[in-house]
């Protein structure tokens, strides 16, 4: 069964973008094989602002990283005729993701943003939160999880790997029973 993974770059103080939506603090890491990473997923779900940021990234880099993939943008303002290469969903997206999870195939990447991640978390749809923590503190911005959720004591921390410039953490979520938080400290010099 596919898992929903919220895979996101974040600052040390828990933001996924500056207030203006910029992510200039994200460091490039040439050791990450994005083609292999993207191939772990059957579809990419994101809010409008994240989708627009991905489009902007594609325009500035000369290549749309999501071209050819099944992209679902949650938006009340985007028009399908303006974006024929993606699926735009206005309502019922939580039920749609439940249906995707009950099917077959690869995992589902929730790319952002923080409000959508909060909704998925509250609905019990997230299976993992994977963060690439950048060595930056911006003080204010768009939070990784934008709303408080109840029962936050169900996260188990599993430090999966360390890259040269950032740390990637994977938080496996068990929304059906409560677990004590298992914390690991990892320091590099």
Domain locations in the chain as residue ranges: 4-21+33-168
The CATH architecture annotation of domain 4-21+33-168 reads 3-Layer(aba) Sandwich (3.40)
- Residue 66: per-residue pLDDT: 86
CB 34 within 8 A of CB 8: no
Better-scored residue on pLDDT, 61 or 84? 84
pTM of the full predicted structure?
0.81
Q: Report the alpha-carbon angle 79-84-87, nearest 5.
A: 75
45/4 Cα distance (integer angstroms): 9
Kindly list the distances between the CA atom of residue 177 and the CA atoms of 1, 4, 130, 131, in Å, as whole numbers in the listed order. Answer: 20, 18, 20, 23
The model's pLDDT over 118-177, given as tens digits with 9 standing for 90+, comes to: 999 889 899 888 888 888 889 999 999 887 655 554 455 555 554 556 666 666 665 444
**In 62-143, alpha helices (H):** 93-101, 114-122
Q: Is 154 exposed, middle or buried (0-12, 13-18, 19+ CB in 10 A)?
A: middle
The percentage of residues in the chain with a pLDDT greater than 90, rounded to a whole number, is 49
- Residue 188: per-residue pLDDT: 36
The tally of CA atoms less than 13 A away on the side-chain side of residue 90 is 5
Q: How far is CA 123 from the centre of its chain?
A: 16
Please provide residue 42's backbone torsions phi and psi, each rounded to the nearest 5 degrees. -90, -25
Better-scored residue on pLDDT, 36 or 174? 36
- Residue 69: per-residue pLDDT: 94
């Amino acid at each position: 069964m596919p898992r929903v993974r919220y895979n996101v770059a974040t600052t040390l103080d828990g933001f996924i973008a500056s207030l203006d939506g910029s992510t200039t603090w994200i460091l490039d890491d040439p050791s990450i094989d994005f083609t292999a990473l993207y191939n772990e997923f059957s579809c990419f779900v994101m809010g409008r602002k994240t989708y627009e940021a991905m489009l902007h990234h594609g325009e500035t880099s000369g290549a749309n990283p999501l071209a050819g993939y099944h992209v679902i943008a949650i938006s009340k303002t985007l028009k399908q005729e303006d974006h024929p290469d993606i699926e735009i969903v206005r309502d019922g997206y939580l039920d749609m993701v439940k249906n995707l999870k009950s099917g077959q195939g690869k995992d589902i990447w929730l790319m952002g943003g923080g409000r959508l991640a909060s909704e998925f978390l509250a609905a019990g749809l997230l299976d993992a939160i994977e963060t690439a923590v950048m060595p930056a503190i911006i003080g204010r911005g768009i939070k990784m999880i934008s709303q408080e959720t109840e029962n936050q004591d169900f996260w188990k921390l599993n430090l999966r790997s360390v890259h040269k410039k950032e740390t990637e953490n994977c938080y496996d979520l068990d929304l059906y029973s409560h677990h004590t938080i298992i914390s690991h400290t990892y320091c590099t010099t």
